[in-house]
Amino acid sequence: MVTSGVEVAPKRVLIVKLSSLGDLVHALPTIHCLKVGLPATITWVVNAVYAPLLRYAVDVDEVIPFDRQRPVRGLWGVVRELRRRDFDLVIDLTGLFKSALISRLARGRLCLGPSHARELSWLFYQRQVGSNELDRHAVERYLDVVGALEVKDGDRVFPLTFPSSSLAVDGTRSVVVLIPSARWPTKLWPAASFADVAGRLRQDGIQVVMVGGELPTAEDPLAKVEGVVDLRGRTSLAELGGILQRADLVIANDTGPMHVAAALGRRVIALMGPTDPRRTGPYGTGHQVLSTYPSCSPCFSKVCRNPAGQVCLQDMRPAEVYAAAVAMLNDRSGNQGQGSEGRAPLPP
């Protein structure tokens, strides 16, 4: 079969998806389908900070890092590397100017981009694919390219394998990993609430590990919870993956490591407010999304404009999150349902 003059079943494919951590994870099922269905050698251009993650993605044959700290030099360094190779197909999974420019400068035989592309990026594509419907999970949106290429749409799998981590995990008790950080201020459940849940879990004899974010400060209420292993700001991506791989449960804000945990098959309680779980909730089965769901949510804003304050997360009680955690730890079947939403029942 031929698509715009290029055989479908190309032997060498370039993926351009620069960031963010969660988006990279969401693209992995698409890469798996391309790898199995074509099959092809997969090269991926990614922001240098995330390159270590893709080195543990078994379907990716080659990673080319882009240095976004030096954008001009980084761009031309990437382009030089790409032009040493001969790509049959180039796929921009981002749809922004920078990613589209890199895609076109790679000089592949066919350059594809998403139909919802912005920043005039569509000018660089030979063909746009997929639907403009954005109220779908990111995993499904990225898979549009699989359908456009008439590649078999296989299982939604995330082939990530990290080295085992021995960091502060003794292997004899249940492990709950807390991820209290997030890139947006509006995605943050209060640190004091995380500390409350951590204290309750520790009283139950559960091992609690914290990861992600910056190094803790002396004023941080999370730093004052006795018996919690605090690895915030102290792990590489590989070490983070190894810790998440060991978790029995992960409680997290809407952040990249949360999606890594879901991809690794860990059960997740996702605390969400300004974003839409239909688009970026934990993907797969066995997860639970908690929010107060006010009328202003999802607002997709980094700044809360609700005169009453950020009720979507501030009003979520630690007792509810703790009760949901206990229920999920006690339910070893993991059959919580994909992205089940709402408030967890309080214990009697």
Whether residue 112 sits in one domain with residue 188: no
Whether residue 182 sits in one domain with residue 139: no
What string of H, E and C letters represents the secondary structure of the chain?
CEECCEECCCCEEEEECCCCHHHHHHHHHHHHHHHHHCCCEEEEEEEHHHHHHHCCECCCCEEEEECCCCHHHHHHHHHHHHCCCCCCEEEECCCCHHHHHHHHHCCCCEEEEECCCCCCHHHHCCEEECCCCCCCCHHHHHCHHHHHCCCCCCCCCCCECCCCCCCCCCCCCCEEEEECCCCCHHHCCCHHHHHHHHHHHHHCCCEEEECCCCCCCCCCHHHHCCCCEECCCCCCHHHHHHHHHHCCEEEEECCHHHHHHHHCCCCEEEECCCCCHHHHCCCCCCCEEECCCCCCCCCCCCCCCCCCCCHHHHCCCHHHHHHHHHHHHHCCCCCCCCCEECCCCCCC
In a domain, 166, yes or no: no
Averaged pLDDT for residues 65-78: 92
Whether residue 308 sits in one domain with residue 250: yes
Last residue of a domain, one of 133, 148, 163: 148
In a domain, 156, yes or no: no
Whether residue 288 sits in one domain with residue 229: yes
In a domain, 348, yes or no: no
Last residue of a domain, one of 95, 129, 148: 148
pLDDT digits (tens, 9 = 90+) for 114-166: 999 999 999 999 999 998 888 899 999 999 999 999 888 878 999 998 988 76
pTM of the model: 0.90
Q: Please count the structural domains in the chain.
A: 2
Whether residue 237 sits in one domain with residue 278: yes
Whether residue 13 sits in one domain with residue 138: yes
Averaged pLDDT for residues 301-320: 92
In a domain, 159, yes or no: no
CATH classification of the domain holding 203: 3.40.50.2000
Whether residue 183 sits in one domain with residue 281: yes
pLDDT-based confidence at residue 267 (cuts at 50, 70, 90)? very high
Whether residue 80 sits in one domain with residue 128: yes
Whether residue 211 sits in one domain with residue 280: yes
Whether residue 180 sits in one domain with residue 144: no
In a domain, 236, yes or no: yes
Last residue of a domain, one of 148, 163, 193: 148
In a domain, 167, yes or no: no
Whether residue 127 sits in one domain with residue 191: no
In a domain, 170, yes or no: no
pLDDT digits (tens, 9 = 90+) for 165-204: 766 666 668 999 999 999 999 999 999 999 999 999 999 9
The whole-number pLDDT of residue 166 equals 65
Whether residue 137 sits in one domain with residue 189: no
The whole-number pLDDT of residue 274 equals 94
pLDDT digits (tens, 9 = 90+) for 10-34: 789 999 999 999 999 999 999 999 9
The residue segments making up the domain with residue 99 are 2-148
